[in-house]
Structure 1
Amino acid sequence: MRKLVLRNGKIYVERGRFAQALYAEDGVIQAVGTEEEVLTAAGKRDGSGNGLDGAEIIDLEGRTVIPGINDSHMHLLNVGMDFATAPITGVSSVDEMVERVKEFVRQNPETAKQGIAGKGWNQDLFIGEKRMPGRYDLDRISTEVPVVLQRICGHVAAANSKAIELLGLDQKMRHVDGGTIETDENGMPTGIFTENAMELVNGLIPKYTLEDDKRMFLNAAEYAVAHGITSVQSNDVGNAFISRDDTFRMLHEIYDEGLCPLRYRHQACIQSLEEFRECVGNGEFKHGVYKDPKRLALGPLKLFKDGSLGGRTAAMRKEYQDDPGNRGVECITKEEMDEFCRLADAAGIQVVTHVIGDRAIEDVIESYEKVLHDGKNPLRHALIHCQITDREMMERIAGDDILICYQPIFLDYDMHVVTDRCGEELSSTSYAFGTAKKLGIHVSYGTDSPVEDCNPFPNLYSAVTRRDQKGWPEGGFFPEERVDIEDAVDAYTIGSAYNEFAEDFKGRLKPGYLADMAVLDTDIFTCRPEEIRTILPVMTIVDGQIVYRKTEE
């Protein structure tokens, strides 16, 4: 029997309630309260009065403990892959990006000899000329192998001339449903690919071996627990670099061997109706065996309805104010969305959908409404991102009891462009964290990592302050949509647990709940708001076992 005692701490139980100590057996919390109450309860459990024999007792030295962070939408395998690709996040110009990739190639010649990949550029953050990189920029890196560099949002990619040549696009253009291949005034590809068209260039980059994928996945998991994350709801199935079946098989192997410290729930991306029918009728949704679903679980169908605000591919009701005539990209039609929802409903499968623009959100709400049961949402269909909204739309979401998976950290960049793209009025009702809380919408938090770092504390800071990481604007971006720190922590813990039907045993530090928690280096409930973004855990516990402990520097 594994026993764990935390004492002399500030343990967050729920709003307005903290405890001094906690006792867990075999990964489940048995008692929470004062030290005397907890030690007495522990002793009574085996009738000996000495229930702490063999227990690991940790003196928290007054530190604050919160439930383990549960990222409600991310891409864990891609986090690991990003660690192994050209580091271009945060570049301030096209030239800097080119030089960084050239240096990566010099240091990793074997990795780069058949193709070069990277992700992280953002033209809106460039100093000087704010343009997307094109084929001839990337030709400065290589003209011998394909070079594919994705924008930070993952919805736009730049490719070099070699990639375009290998695809035969200089000779014959291709139409891609739900995506675009951008061309110049002469009809030649510029090297910019959006949405579904990205699959063409992504397919040119050599695939990793299964062992490579496992190593990268586990590296990402270690990074996550080092930042207080104990559970992820991750969209790795549907990754362009590894097949759906290989991803399912890899995760089964990792968890059967007990290699991963995180709890994991699949968000399986299947964009083809034919593939979804096959997966439901004779695939993973039919035959998948999950021995310990509290460790590894098969979750919802994940769909993409539109693109990104930064790439101007989010589907909007009105044209972009800074790009007249453009209303974004629709990745799947209304008819396809309706059919996905009908099939999922018949099979009892939750649906979660990437929606950023107001047109995309409205269309998906309509599709969800067609499969509600007596006005209820028992499968807990959810909207991922749900960024550009008005009050009427938020009230409709609340009335339908549709869930929202927010990424507050997106505001760090988006607050600098959303008004130009969407106008002042619509921006004031978007990223509506406060309104969602007031309307009683079930909200969870995540990072969409590696679009953003999966570190949860800058994310919490964004929700509480609505300021960027440099502290702008001083009063917050439309500050009426701020939430307090208790609401933000709850969204990241019990809120995320609700998203995966686990709220009865996960996301709180109470008896009967899983012993998943993070011990913090700063009291997140009393520190200045600007300090939240720099908080880190000194210890992360999953299933009552320490999976990360900060080493002394």
Structure 2
Amino acid sequence: MTYHDHHIHPLGYAALVGGLDLMDARDLDDVLARVAAHAEKVTGPVIAQRLNDEGLREGRLPTATDLDPVTGDRPVLAHRYCGHIAVANTAALKLAGVDATTPDPPGGSFDRLPDGTPTGILRETAVGAVTSALAPLVPPPGDTEILDAFKQLTSMGIGSVTGIVSVGEPLWCGVADELGALMRLAPDLPIGMDVLVITQDPAALAAARETLERAGGPVGFRGLKIFADGSLGGHTAALHQPYADRRDTRGVLRLDAARDLSLAEAALEIGGTVAIHAIGDRAVDEVLDLFTELIHRGAPSHRLRMEHASLLTDQAVERMAELGIVASVQPAFLPSEATWLEKRLGPERMGTAYRFRSLLEAGVRVIGGSDAPVELPDPETGIAAAVHRHGINPGEAVTRSQAEALFLPPS
């Protein structure tokens, strides 16, 4: 069987293959040792991916104070594995001009000490304040490295993907011009790729569509990607009620209804799909409201996708079915979140998590992806997780054939 990954960050994955992966680090000392060792192998700022604080003995993210002794004046940025949180050392903060007087950006925040000094932990859009400063100094993956990474996908049975690409500030520091790289490599790509474009600029979206149509090779335009919230692991997915393990926050709602409605209409007008990231239950409801308005204005429901759809009430499942929208889910999140999801949500909300069976039984079209480099892209991991559930809401398990169907190529 040939699979399609419906949600992957192709250049982020390519950077991971040749970069520093911290997912299995045991404790902070292990993290620091790996960062120091990687610094000896690369030039420029040191970039790490897939930092997992829940897997560390200390159960917390490092801070600039932790990183500084092993990195000195060398800028360092470590992305949490969700992609929505990162940790910068003092050199990176200084290069970005981030200090106690720097205001939090819309849709993000800097963790701070009582006197306002940033700790180095960056949440949501605050990550961009540092990546934009570091990115020009980070050598991007070479063409051979990118193509080799994509060839690895074919060895996993993946014949095509829906690639998510930013045309402005890259999501993953060090990937440089994502669209330009795809254009350059399109004739040699070993897999097919339709592209969802991250931008808040309708003109940039239209230009990206025209660029992709000229690419040649197995590359095409799919549509627009928008963020409504963040991640459960980073406490930034937007919830109706506070996190069980952090009663001071309900997450971050990044959706701007007026702006994003206009942007979505611009995408639909040029033949694109609108894909909106929504993980928390509040974000899900806000996106459903936006989709309802788009359909009222004539949008075809099959071109509206909710990415992740992680926490769904019964009412949300019913609304998705009634609207006829698509749910794009990532079953590989289940094993990664098995040890800590109930800590975030509390037992009363666990029944809303990753409701694959309920969606299918309601008649919602459900498709599957990895979200690599957040998770590794092997479809077998996601298929097995959808069936076995790893202890999370086991009544939502699906059959093997249903799980495989999530990863079939678009019809």
Q: TM-score, normalised by structure 2?
A: 0.93
The amino acid that maps onto 1:69 is: Y
Tell me what 2:209 maps to: 285
Alignment of 1:435-514 (within 5 A): 435-467=358-390, 476-493=391-408, 496-497=409-410, 503=411
Q: CA deviation at 1:131?
A: 1.2
Alignment of 1:44-83 (within 5 A): 66=1, 68-83=2-17
C-alpha change, 1:212 and 1:278, in structure 2 (3 Å) is closer
C-alpha RMSD of matched pairs (Å): 2.2
8 A contact 1:405–1:444 mirrored in 2: yes
C-alpha change, 1:390 and 1:171, in structure 2 (3 Å) is closer
Q: CA deviation at 1:418?
A: 2.3
Q: Does 1:234 align with 2:159?
A: no
Gaps of 5+ in 2: none
Q: CA deviation at 1:291?
A: 6.8
8 A contact 2:36–2:70 mirrored in 1: yes
Q: CA deviation at 1:478?
A: 2.3
CA distance in 1, matches of 2:344, 2:175: 36
Alignment of 1:379-418 (within 5 A): 379-418=302-341
Alignment of 1:169-318 (within 5 A): 169-170=98-99, 172-207=101-136, 212-238=141-167, 239-240=170-171, 241=173, 246-256=177-187, 259-270=188-199, 272=200, 275-280=201-206, 283-286=207-210, 288-290=212-214, 295-318=218-241
The number of residue pairs the alignment matches comes to 408
Tell me what 1:62 maps to: none
Q: CA deviation at 1:292?
A: 5.8
Q: CA deviation at 1:155?
A: 0.5
CA-to-aligned-CA distance 1:364-420 (integer Å, 9 cap, x gap): 111111111588734521011110111110110111011011111101122322222
Q: CA deviation at 1:92?
A: 1.6
Of Structure 1 and Structure 2, the greater helix share is in: 2
8 A contact 1:74–1:233 mirrored in 2: yes
Q: Does 1:118 align with 2:33?
A: no
* 226-235 or 325-334, which deviates more: 325-334
8 A contact 1:75–1:234 mirrored in 2: yes
Q: CA deviation at 1:263?
A: 0.6
C-alpha change, 1:97 and 1:78, in structure 2 (3 Å) is same
8 A contact 1:337–1:364 mirrored in 2: no
| Higher-Rg member (1/2) | 1
CA distance in 1, matches of 2:175, 2:385: 35
Tell me what 1:56 maps to: none
CA distance in 1, matches of 2:156, 2:12: 17
8 A contact 1:236–1:268 mirrored in 2: yes
Gaps of 5+ in 1: 1-65, 468-475, 498-502, 504-553
Tell me what 1:44 maps to: none
8 A contact 2:226–2:277 mirrored in 1: yes
> SS of the residue aligned with 2:374?
coil
Tell me what 1:540 maps to: none
8 A contact 1:387–1:431 mirrored in 2: yes
CA distance in 1, matches of 2:97, 2:335: 39
8 A contact 2:140–2:175 mirrored in 1: no
Q: Does 1:100 align with 2:34?
A: yes
8 A contact 2:21–2:51 mirrored in 1: no
Tell me what 1:18 maps to: none
C-alpha change, 1:453 and 1:287, in structure 2 (3 Å) is closer
8 A contact 1:115–1:204 mirrored in 2: no
Alignment of 1:12-27 (within 5 A): none
> SS of the residue aligned with 1:389?
coil
Q: CA deviation at 1:286?
A: 4.5
C-alpha change, 1:333 and 1:118, in structure 2 (3 Å) is same
CA distance in 1, matches of 2:293, 2:340: 34
Q: Does 1:421 align with 2:344?
A: yes
Identity %: 26
